[in-house]
A and B are shown apart, each in its own frame.
Chain A
Amino acid sequence: EVQLVESGGGLVQPGGSLRLSCAASGFTFSSYEMNWVRQAPGKGLEWVSYISSSGSTIYYADSVKGRFTISRDNAKNSLYLQMNSLRAEDTAVYYCARAGGGQTLYYYYYYMDVWGKGTTVTVSS
């Protein structure tokens, strides 16, 4: 069964750090690009960060740039998100998601086809 399982969430004080993990199983992890997506309480989905299959290409949302670091260990089938200088507005459920894509004659397309159940991060004093 194709599966993603996040862990590492919890309660942290403002300015603190957390490291989220995402364990992949049921597919060849090293062949897939990955994303972190978050959802604040009662709010919509927000893309956080992307990493290519090899880890050589990385993107961040402006809201986390300079504070968060995405990484992966293909030998361990794992994705990570190191979160530093946490703020109250980082409080959210954090999902890891497998990415895919392709192209037609005129358009490219991308999608996130497998999602974990999420891990909750609460930033509060």
Chain B
Amino acid sequence: SSELTQDPAVSVALGQTVRITCQGDSLRSYYASWYQQKPGQAPVLVIYGKNNRPSGIPDRFSGSSSGNTASLTITGAQAEDEADYYCNSRDSSGNHLDWVFGGGTKLTVL
């Protein structure tokens, strides 16, 4: 099965821009979706498709993709953005169309 690789931890100064990346072969065929998870809470979808934000997600969140790498960018990070971020995609490398998550990136806002 395919895997998605994320950096375990990233930090950003308050108000600055941070990029969180996700690498995997499946990203050559499928756009990643991105989820934010705060301690003790369920994940929340923040980006899907080429660069789509669900209703209620601030426009400082954006997504992009190139080759086997997907990126989530937070422009002007806020204290409330401190959370774990997970990428997700489909995986067609096996006999089925499974789903796969990256290992997650812990974002610290300094």
Contact = CB atoms under 8 A, between A and B. Distances in A.
A45 B29 contact: no
Contacts of A61: 98
B101 A46 contact: yes
Given A111-B49, A111-B88, A59 B96 contact: yes
A67 interface: no
Contacts of A95: 42-43
Contact of B42 (A50, A100, A115): A115
Contact of A115 (B31, B43, B96, B98): B43
Interface string B68-110: 0000000000000000101011100000111111111000000
Q: Report the interface size class on chain A.
A: 20 to 34
A44 B89 contact: no
Contacts of B89: 110
Nearest to B55: A113
A110 B99 contact: yes
Given A47-B98, A47-B100, A95-B42, A102 B49 contact: yes
A35 B99 contact: yes
B61 interface: no
A62 interface: yes
B100 to A, nearest CB: 6
Nearest to A100: B48
Contacts of B50: 104, 107, 109
B58 to A, nearest CB: 17
A112 B35 CA distance: 9
B45 interface: yes
A55 interface: no
Given A45-B101, A59-B97, A111-B45, 11 more contacts: A37-B43, A50-B99, A100-B48, A107-B31, A108-B31, A109-B48, A110-B33, A110-B48, A110-B89, A111-B33, A112-B88
8 contacts: A37-B43, A107-B65, A110-B48, A110-B88, A111-B48, A112-B45, A112-B88, A113-B48
